[in-house]
Amino acid sequence: MSWISDYRYTCLQKWALQILHSTGRIPNHIAFVMDGNRRFARSKQLDKIEGHSRGFSKLADVLRWCVDLGIKEVTTFAFSIENFKRSNEEVEGLFNLAREKFAKLLEETDRLDEHGIRIRVIGNILLLPEDLQRHIATAMLRTEHNDKLFLNIAFAYTSRDEMTQAVESILKSDETSDDEPLHPSDINERLLEECLYTRHSPPPDMVFRTSGETRLSDFMMWQLSSSVLYFTDVLWPQITIWNFLASIVAYQCDRCRMERFKSGERLHSTQLAKAGEFYSLRVQKFLHRIDANRRKLLIALASN
C-alpha cells in the first residue's frame, strides 16, 4: 500500500471539494489522532495488527484528500511512548508494520517527490529499535528538500517527553559548544517553543480525533492552544471523505471565533516584542546548533 493513495473521486465529491475550497478558508495544518484501529479489528474479528494496517491504508486516503484540498501540513499521532506498555506482541507487531511501511516509502520516493511530500518523524526515536531508527532517519533525509506537503509522524512521542527534551537541550546548551552559553534572561516561553520537535511547524489549525474519544492523550499539548478540536464517533479505518469534509466545514464555521481569539494573541505578541523580546545573536547560534545537531543525528542513524 502506497503512502498516498490513488483515490478516485465521484463527481459529487469533486464538486464538494471545489465548493469548500472556494467558499471558505482551508486549514494550513491538520493534526490527526488516528484512534480506533484496535476496536475496528475487534468489530471485524481481525488481528490487532491488521486493524493498524487498515488504519495506515486510511491514512494514505487522507493524505490524498489533504493534498487535493491544498492543506500544507499534516501531523499524525502514530505511536505514543505510552504504547510501550502494551503487550510485547502488539508492540513488536507495530514496529514490524512501521518497518514495512518505511521500507515501502523508500521504494517510492519518486512518488513522494512528485507530490512534494516531506516526511518528518517527531518523537524520541532513540527509544526505537536500531533498524527502525535507520529507516526513519533515511526517509527524513531523503525527502528533506520537498516542501509542498509536510507529513509529521509522531512516533515514540508524548508532549511531556517533548517538553522534557526541550528543557534538557537548554540546560545542556553550554556543554555542546564553545560559543557563549545562554544567559538566564534568554530563557523564556518563546525559546522553549523553539526547542520543541515541531519548531519549524506552525501550530495545527485543527485537531481531528476519531472513535468518539474527546481527549488529547498527551498529544501536542503545547501547540494546541488555539486549535479547533473536532471529534467524531467513527473509527479511524472507517472514516470517509464525507467525515473529512464535515470537519473542514466545522473548521470554517469556527473560523470567525478563532480569528477573534488569535487577534488577542497577536496583541500579546506585540506587547512582548515592545518589551524587547528579540533573539540575540547568542540565541540564534544556539538554535542553529539545535538544527545542526538534529541533522547530524539523522545522518549517524541512517549510516548505522
35 is catalytic: yes
CA angle 145, 147, 152 (to 5 degrees): 95
Q: Which residue has the cell 549510516?
A: 303
Candidates 59, 149, 151, 182; catalytic one: 149
12 is catalytic: no
Where are the extended beta strands (E) located within 112-225?
117-122, 149-157, 206-209
Cα 2 from Cα 95, distance rounded (Å): 18
171 is catalytic: no
Q: Is 275 helix (H, G, I), strand (E, B) or coil?
A: coil
CA dihedral 108, 4, 34, 71 (to 10 degrees): 120
Hey, what amino acid is at 66?
Answer: C
Candidates 20, 52, 298, 301; catalytic one: 52
Name every residue whose Cβ is closer than 8 Å to that of residue 118 and which is 6 or more positions away in sequence.
143, 144, 145, 146, 147, 149, 150, 151
218 burial class (0-12, 13-18, 19+ CB within 10 angstroms)? Answer: middle
Candidates 17, 20, 29, 35; catalytic one: 35
Cα 17 from Cα 9, distance rounded (Å): 10
Alpha carbon of residue 302 to chain centroid: 21
Cα 254 from Cα 21, distance rounded (Å): 16
Tell which residue, 33, 36, 30, has the closest CA to residue 52.
36
Catalytic sites, residue numbers: 35, 52, 149
